Amino acid sequence: MVTIHDVAARAGVSPATVSRFLRGQRVRSYEAIQAAVDELGYWPSAAAQSLKSGRTNTIGVVVPDITNPYFAAVVKGMESVTRTEPYRILLANSDESGEQEDDVLADLVRRVDGIILAPATEQDQTPLHVRDADVPLVFVDRDLAGGERFDAVLVDNDGGGKQAAEHLLALGHTKVAAISGTLDTTPGRLRREGFVGTLAKAGIEVPPEYDLVGDFKEHSGYQLTLSLLSLPEPPTAIFAANNLMTLGVLKALHDMRIDIPGQISLIGFDDLDTGPLLRPPLTVIDRPMVEQGVLAMRLLLRRLDPDEAGGSASRIVLDTKLIERASTAPPGGWPAPSRTRKTRSR
């Protein structure tokens, strides 16, 4: 490895002068130094720089599942911000597991300047210890109980659940099932509350056998749908609380040859690239994805900027939006009460 000493020796100056030159200060023998740098192909050691400066120029990003298109988009948004900065992203999967998250965080705090986290559960307090290590922490997608003093980029999950419920109500559904995500995550809990609560206000109770809880993974959407179909009286509409579970529901309905939306309407949370191309095109609650990553990374970089750091926590909450496609319709072929419906496809 070629060090700053080698460059200094070849240029006939001291390492201090080479260092000054590299940091843009004026130096008498800059030509000789530049030549030495080029000829030796010198690049400063990141480890040595980190040790001296206390900064790693690295951001830790922990998501539950990078193959979930939502998180992939969020990470891409983050990446687009760091591209023009000296920062890089250290990526880790928690696999929706609190323990794995803990392990990974313990390791990350030693290596990064800041962390963006989508916590596996709301209850886990480990992430708060990250603060002890003086590593700024930003939440994205999911919040933490007691995490109010941290920056966060969230969406209005409750409002999204409400939009889904109102859509089904407007179509005239009364036998409505919810497949929620893990209830100790922010989106799992709030989407359900928004959905079930709105139905309750309209006088429609979701009975326990319709009020199911999955784990945000495709398989649970599939399984829970099968259990719904085995009920003596299956629902006429299903709300699935994230993209992967929605796919699971869709697969199960296909496998059981259920007509959508003829027999059962399906509304999901989070749009998919393939959303408009599915059988049938999915009605979903959509939200900004790439933008969430961009915002989260900007918040974090602001904390890392010595001029701008400090200040109270920024808690950004983005709005969700209903995208009506063809997977929802009035129940049992009955006409929708008092409302014109346009089926949209992108």
Site for DNA contains 49 (CB under 7 A) = yes
Residue 62 Cα to chain centre, angstroms: 9
Residue 96, classed as helix, strand or coil, is: coil
Of 73-81, 138-146, 174-182, 294-302: span binding a second copy (CB under 8 A): 73-81
User: 155: closest CA among 319, 341, 298?
Assistant: 319
Residue 45, H or E segment: none
**47 interacts with a second copy by CB under 8 A:** yes
- Sort 83 into a burial class: Cβ within 10 Å, 0-12 / 13-18 / 19+: exposed
Find tokens 């719904």 and name the residue: 228
Residue 258 found at the interface with a second copy (CB under 8 A): no
Strands 114-117 and 265-269: unpaired
CB of residue 111 to a second copy, shortest distance in Å = 5
Give strand pairing partners of 153: 140, 316
Q: Name which of a second copy, DNA, none residue 16 binds, using a CB cut-off of 5 to 8 Å depending on partner kind.
A: DNA
Least distance in Å: CB of 53 to a second copy? 9
Which residue is it, tokens 């963006």? 116
Residue from 31, 38, 39, 45 touching DNA (CB under 7 A): that is 45
Q: Does 53 bind DNA (CB under 7 A)?
A: yes
Q: Which two tokens stand for residue 75?
A: 């990470």
- Preceding amide of 261 cis, omega within 30: yes
CB of 15 vs DNA, minimal distance in Å: 4
Contact residue for a second copy among 179, 241, 272, 299 (CB under 8 A):
272
Give how many residues touch DNA by CB under 7 A. Answer: 28
37 binds, among DNA, a second copy, none (CB under 5 to 8 A by kind): none
Q: Provide the 3-class DSSP secondary structure of residue 290.
A: helix
Instruction: Tell whether residue 72 is a contact of a second copy (CB under 8 A).
Output: yes
Binding characters for a second copy, 90-129, by CB under 8 A (x = yes): xxxx------x-----xxxxxx------------------
Q: Which does 216 bind (CB under 5 to 8 A by kind): DNA, a second copy, none?
A: none
